[in-house]
Amino acid sequence: MPKVVAQQPPWIARGSAGHQLFQHDERAKIPTTKDVQYDGPTRKIAHRGTEIFVAVGNELRWADVNALEGSPPSGPRDDRKQYRLLKTSIPRPIQQLSVSRSGNFIAILTSHTCHVGLLPASSHLHSGDLSPLRLKTFQVGPTAHVLEQAPLKSAIWHPLSPSGNCLVTVTEDACVRVWELDSNNRSTFDEPSLAIDLKKLANARSTKEDFSASKYGISTGFSPDNIEMQVAAACFGGQGSDDEHGWSSMTLWVAMGEGDVYALCPLLPSKWWAPATMLPSLSTSVVAKVRASSGDSDITAAEKQVTDQQCTWLAELDNQEPMLQHGEDEFDTLEVYSRPAKPGPVPKLQGPFYMSTELESGDVTDIFVIASKIDDDAVYDEEFEDVSADDGLSVGVICLAMRNNKVHVCLDLDGVEAEWLPPKRSRSFTPDDDAQKDLLLFETVDLSGKDTSEDWPTFTASPIERYELFVTTNSGVYNLDFTHWTTALEADLASDSDAGVDFRLKMLLESTKTTVAQVITIPTNHERNANAVVAICDPASVGHVLLTAAASTPFATVLEVPVQSAHDYAPDDFTSAGALPAPEPRAPYEPPEAFFQPSALPQLLKVAGEKRLLGSDLKAQVRFSPATLQLMTDAHRIMSSETHRLGLAAAELFRRCERMQAELREQVRRVNEIAQKVDVVVGEEEEDVQHGNNDNRDASQVTGGKEKIEHRIQQSQDKTRQLQAQVDTLRTKMLSLGGKQLSAKERSFAREVEILNRGLDPVEEPEAPTEPASLLHMANSPSSQREHDQEKANSLTGRFDAVSALREKLVQQVEDVAAQRLGVEGRTGGGGGEGKGGGVMAMSGFRSRRMEVVRELLERETALVEGVGARLERLRVGL
């Protein structure tokens, strides 16, 4: 819910230009008793950006909120005037105003007639010239919307019109007409492109029947539907945005005064534009329905017919080549389609929608629909899903306003999709065969308070928050915020588990309520039928302003504009927050109308003088006669009523003054309490008490407030230094737990061990480079290769390889010598036995000793290498 920044800003105070904008004057016609009694919504204020259009009687006025805010609060009337009169040829009082989505047209509605005016460009109206301007107007439906026909209830601009100038009018007799207006074609104002009589459509059985609205001068017979289907209000189910369900923006919701709700889907002009997500979402849902129905044997004929008709409708759209049209800005492009010819331009009337519980007595006055969000999972892939999209509710929200100032908040759980009547009349098909459509009554919000009178409440959409709206009653404007319970409800609806869902929904219905706040208060002494509030949001200039009027008196409230951060994880901005909470804004005192209404006594005396009931001199002798008695009685009646009103107004001012005095005393008391608390904190109170109890006591022995604070700061600093010293001590102890520091010899030995470790690890020889650049590199030069071989030979691995090679060489030499000795002895043959034997034994003994020496050397080298390896392993584990 937005926060109220200010109420009744100065630019609408009495005497200002904003107040004069709503005041009657001699040019504006005031409704008389001869006028037809109007029973319907009052929407006499419309806006185009920061420009506002106000209807006063049969007069249309224009002003800009920025100019009204900058106008002086007082001065001559010509200086205060900041509005411009737009002259029209409308003889009857204006009841409703509505600016088209393109900003080029304005719909001006009386009780029975509808006129459309061509609005000048904003630059032309802001030229500075405040002289009256003649507005070119056309009457819409010269034979359809006249006094002899049913009154007008709603005039809505179609959200899917490419030009933004398609007007849909709904009359009390349940006739819906679509007007595709074109300023260059006068016939578009005379005849509608589509006219539907909902009473005929409710009883129809095929598309071949006549659904057109009754013509002017043709009498119709009585039907029970004439009472049960009296329209109270109508609205579209969406605004044409990308995050809404595909069927929402083309669904017209119609609320009857008796409480029944109907829907027309799809209701489209001959040319319409489709948002980017509409056709993909509709195609996905229809294809899924076709697949589900193909394997379901329990599907009814009516459900299969609806699926086939939707497939036919979408197939014709797929065969079309959309026309591209520029949108509101140069970067926005609209895809414009033609309305499919099959199944037909007239949809089926769906409803009435039955409420889950019986509604309380009270006629419906207005309807407001919040579209369900689009199913992102069915349209986008997971990798293309927009995670920054706003959360919403997967079901629609329908709000109904009642005459007894109650608002029924309902949920459309099933949703409304496109449906048409069968192309041919069939005996097996009747309107009663359709499945019953229900609305779940979620909550009933009571806005009546102490006021039990009935009026005509109206809805106004919020320009900032989707699940938020404003309700205008005779007692003021209320803000209804659904955000809290929609978030909790969507969490349960999106859950895959159905366990305990009934209990959770029951607790949600019992505990979660809509947030209600009154943002504008209208005094009870004003006339009835307050204007529907207008919400203007322009953060760059006026901010978020709510504007309404009652009894020619404007009421406004400035709301806080929510600041959108650059991303979801941006830190909160606390720079604008004050040290103390700001007081609740309150509207300034507005003098009652009784102080400014002229007295009727001079007019009575004038009439009496014309009739010669009094002499020319009021000081003359009074003639006692029945006429004089009647004159005195009439004068007393006028004086008593006027003095009574003045007394009530003065009493209200006296009560306000007393309340202000009481509030001022309360504020002074609170300030004194705060001052005492501050004195206790800083020590001033202790000093005063000590001086009061012992005046002879030395003042130097009393600790003053400043010294006490300095003493506390010094104690905090000392405590901080002690904590820092303890932290340093703990840090030193933690470092000592890791072991003593290594000495220089230990570090040198560690380096040697690391060198040995690198030497023992096998090093893979890099592959020979084949690229020319690598072959020419310095690392592959002969000198670098020699240095590498020398380093390898000096390492422990190189030495081990050298010893192994030496051992193999010595063993080979021993074998060669032994073989040579045996060969020589064989060649010599004979000789003395002793000499032969002695020589062989001597040679074998020499070889044995030599072999033993070699084996000992090899064993020593092997033991040395194994010892070094084991020591290196232990060192590695220790490190």
More confident residue, 694 or 331: 331
Mean pLDDT of 842-868: 78
Share of the chain above pLDDT 70, in %: 75
Q: Which is nearest to 65 in space by CA: 553, 537, 587?
A: 537
What's the CA gap between 53 and 122, in Å, rounded? 12
Q: Which of 73-87, 261-275, 608-622 has the lowest mean pLDDT?
A: 608-622
Which 3 state secondary structure label does DSSP give 703? coil
Mean pLDDT of 747-767: 69
What's the CA gap between 156 and 368, in Å, rounded? 12
pLDDT at 757: 74
Element (H, E) at 473: strand 468-473
pLDDT at 700: 44
Q: Ramachandran region of residue 392, left (φ > 0), alpha (ψ -120 to 50) or beta?
A: beta
* Alpha-carbon distances, residue 532 vs 273, 701, 702 (angstroms): 30, 71, 67
**pLDDT tens-digit readout, 366-378:** 999 999 988 765 5
pLDDT at 770: 47
Q: Angle at CA 119, nearest 5°, toward 113 and 123?
A: 165
Mean pLDDT of 361-369: 86
Please name every residue paired with 459 in a beta bridge, in sequence order, or none if there are none: 471
pLDDT at 843: 54
Q: Which is nearest to 197 in space by CA: 180, 218, 183, 181?
A: 218
Element (H, E) at 190: helix 187-190
Q: Which of 111-120, 344-353, 419-428, 745-754 has the lowest mean pLDDT?
A: 419-428
Name the token pair of 546.
Answer: 């709510």
pLDDT at 878: 58
Please name every residue paired with 246 in a beta bridge, in sequence order, or none if there are none: none
What's the CA gap between 488 and 393, in Å, rounded? 10
What's the CA gap between 94 and 853, in Å, rounded? 130
Q: How confident is the model at residue 771 (pLDDT cuts 50, 70, 90)?
A: very low
Q: Which of 179-193, 582-596, 808-822 has the lowest mean pLDDT?
A: 582-596
Q: Which of 102-106, 621-625, 787-791 has the lowest mean pLDDT?
A: 787-791
Q: How confident is the model at residue 346 (pLDDT cuts 50, 70, 90)?
A: very high
Q: How confident is the model at residue 115 (pLDDT cuts 50, 70, 90)?
A: very high
Maximum CA extent, the chain = 199
* Cβ atoms of residues 557 and 536 within 8 Å: no
Element (H, E) at 278: helix 278-294
What's the CA gap between 199 and 222, in Å, rounded? 12
For 819, how many CA atoms within 13 A lie in the half-sphere containing its CB?
Answer: 6
User: How many Cβ atoms from other residues are within 10 Å of residue 102's Cβ?
Assistant: 16
The dihedral sign for the CA sequence 396, 397, 403, 406: positive
Give yes or no for a cis peptide into 562 (omega within 30° of 0): no
* Cβ atoms of residues 309 and 417 within 8 Å: no
User: How many Cβ atoms from other residues are within 10 Å of residue 126's Cβ?
Assistant: 14
pLDDT at 570: 52
Q: List, edge to edge, every strand of the sheet that includes 468-473.
A: 458-461, 468-473, 476-481, 515-521
Position 347 pLDDT exceeds 70? yes
pLDDT at 699: 44
Find how far residue 718's CA is from the centre of its chain: 52
For 332, residues 6+ apart whose C-beta sits below 8 A from its C-beta are 326
Q: Which of 507-511, 514-518, 645-649 has the lowest mean pLDDT?
A: 507-511
pLDDT at 35: 52
Q: Which of 402-416, 529-543, 571-585 has the lowest mean pLDDT?
A: 571-585
What's the CA gap between 533 and 111, in Å, rounded? 20
Q: How confident is the model at residue 854 (pLDDT cuts 50, 70, 90)?
A: confident
pLDDT at 612: 56
* Cβ atoms of residues 740 and 719 within 8 Å: no
Which 3 state secondary structure label does DSSP give 817? helix
Element (H, E) at 64: strand 59-64
Position 248 pLDDT exceeds 50? yes
What's the CA gap between 45 and 37, in Å, rounded? 20
Q: Which of 89-98, 591-600, 721-730 has the lowest mean pLDDT?
A: 591-600
Q: Which of 48-62, 247-261, 282-296 has the lowest mean pLDDT?
A: 282-296
pLDDT at 602: 84
Q: Which of 192-196, 256-260, 813-817 has the lowest mean pLDDT?
A: 813-817
**pLDDT tens-digit readout, 493-513:** 776 666 666 677 777 777 778
* Cβ atoms of residues 112 and 151 within 8 Å: yes
Q: List, edge to edge, every strand of the sheet that includes 96-99.
A: 96-99, 105-109, 114-118, 137-139
How does DSSP classify residue 850?
H
Beta strand spans in 312-375 (E): 323-326, 333-338, 349-350, 354-355, 364-370
User: How many Cβ atoms from other residues are within 10 Å of residue 518's Cβ?
Assistant: 17
Q: Which of 2-6, 577-581, 723-727 has the lowest mean pLDDT?
A: 577-581
Q: Which of 106-110, 172-176, 182-186, 745-749 has the lowest mean pLDDT?
A: 745-749
Find how far residue 88's CA is from the centre of its chain: 39
Q: Is 478 exposed, middle or buried (0-12, 13-18, 19+ CB in 10 A)?
A: buried
What's the CA gap between 464 and 536, in Å, rounded? 10
Position 251 pLDDT exceeds 50? yes
Mean pLDDT of 531-549: 91
Q: Which is nearest to 63 in space by CA: 22, 31, 102?
A: 22
Instruction: Compute the radius of gyration of the chain from its Cα atoms.
Output: 48
Position 476 pLDDT exceeds 50? yes
More confident residue, 175 or 498: 175
Q: Which of 10-14, 25-29, 467-471 has the lowest mean pLDDT?
A: 25-29
What's the CA gap between 521 and 822, in Å, rounded? 133
pLDDT at 836: 44
Which 3 state secondary structure label does DSSP give 85? strand
* Cβ atoms of residues 51 and 62 within 8 Å: yes
Of 13-27, 201-215, 465-479, 613-627, which has the strongest mean pLDDT? 465-479
What's the CA gap between 404 and 363, in Å, rounded? 8
Name the token pair of 474.
Answer: 């005779």
What value does the mean pLDDT of the chain take?
A: 79
Q: Which of 411-420, 501-510, 690-699 has the lowest mean pLDDT?
A: 690-699
Share of the chain above pLDDT 90, in %: 28
What's the CA gap between 710 and 713, in Å, rounded? 5
* Cβ atoms of residues 480 and 514 within 8 Å: yes
pLDDT at 133: 92
pLDDT at 191: 92
For 689, residues 6+ apart whose C-beta sits below 8 A from its C-beta are none
Annotate 594-636 with DSSP letters as a single string.
GGTSPPSHHHHHHHHHHTTSS-SSTTSPPP-SHHHHHHHHHHH
Q: Which is nearest to 469 in space by CA: 366, 361, 543, 586?
A: 366
pLDDT at 449: 73
Q: How confident is the model at residue 380 (pLDDT cuts 50, 70, 90)?
A: low
Beta strand spans in 327-467 (E): 333-338, 349-350, 354-355, 364-370, 396-402, 406-412, 438-446, 458-461
Which 3 state secondary structure label does DSSP give 138? strand
Q: How confident is the model at residue 831 (pLDDT cuts 50, 70, 90)?
A: very low
pLDDT at 47: 94
Q: Angle at CA 549, nearest 5°, toward 548 and 554?
A: 95
Torsion of CA 871, 872, 876, 878, to 10 degrees: 20
pLDDT at 623: 72
Annotate 333-351 with DSSP letters as a single string.
EEEEEEPP-SS-SS--EE-
Position 27 pLDDT exceeds 70? no
Q: How confident is the model at residue 263 (pLDDT cuts 50, 70, 90)?
A: very high
pLDDT at 462: 93
* Alpha-carbon distances, residue 36 vs 40, 268, 455, 567, 596 (angstroms): 12, 33, 18, 56, 29
What are phi and psi for residue 275, nearest 5 degrees? -60, 165
Position 250 pLDDT exceeds 90? yes
* Cβ atoms of residues 186 and 179 within 8 Å: no
Position 704 pLDDT exceeds 70? no
Name the token pair of 725.
Answer: 């010293």
Helices (H) and strands (E) in the chain, counts: 21, 33
What's the CA gap between 850 and 859, in Å, rounded? 14
Position 706 pLDDT exceeds 90? no
Mean pLDDT of 56-64: 92
Position 94 pLDDT exceeds 90? yes
Please name every residue paired with 43 in a beta bridge, in sequence order, or none if there are none: 96
How does DSSP classify residue 571?
P
**pLDDT tens-digit readout, 571-619:** 555 444 444 555 667 777 777 778 888 888 888 877 776 665 554 445 5
